Amino acid sequence: GEDQPVVQAVHEILGGVGADVVVDAVGLPGTFTQAFYMRDLAGRVVLVGVPTPEMRLELPLADVFGRGGATKSSWYGDCLPERDFPLYTDLYLQGRFPLGDFVDERISID
């Protein structure tokens, strides 16, 4: 909840308010709960990390209602993989989707 040290740290860094957007890239109930409480009352939480089917989230419904804002999931950036992945591949092969431009640093595993 709001009393978790990482949530409190985010609020302190941001001057007592939450973040405009919090992205949960892990997809665990605990990280989602932290993200939920890290966001500002008008902020957004975006779930990118993919949970397993047996995972369950438990939040007080009064907190969901009272904190406002928005909560959404983003499955592959909200694309349709069966339609969009072949399109992206074709664009890349045509030289029209320069994926290399997205890489600005390479680091070794060690």
* pLDDT, tens digit, 9 for 90 and up, residues 21-75: 999 999 999 999 999 999 999 999 999 999 999 999 999 999 999 988 999 999 8
pLDDT of residue 110 exceeding 90: no
- Note if the pTM is more than 0.85: no
User: Which is it for strands 19-24 and 39-47: parallel, antiparallel or unpaired?
Assistant: parallel
CB atoms within 10 A of CB 69: 17
Domain assignments of the chain as residue spans, ordered by start: 5-78
Share of the chain residues as helix, strand and coil, in percent rounded to the nearest 5: 40, 15, 40
CATH number among 2.60.120.260, 3.40.640.10, 3.40.50.720, 3.90.1150.10, domain 5-78:
3.40.50.720
Q: Write out the DSSP string of 61-77.
A: HHHHHHT-SEEEE-SGG
- Mean pLDDT score of the chain, rounded to an integer? 93
Residue 2 pLDDT > 90: no
Q: Work out the percent of the chain whose per-residue pLDDT is above 90.
A: 78
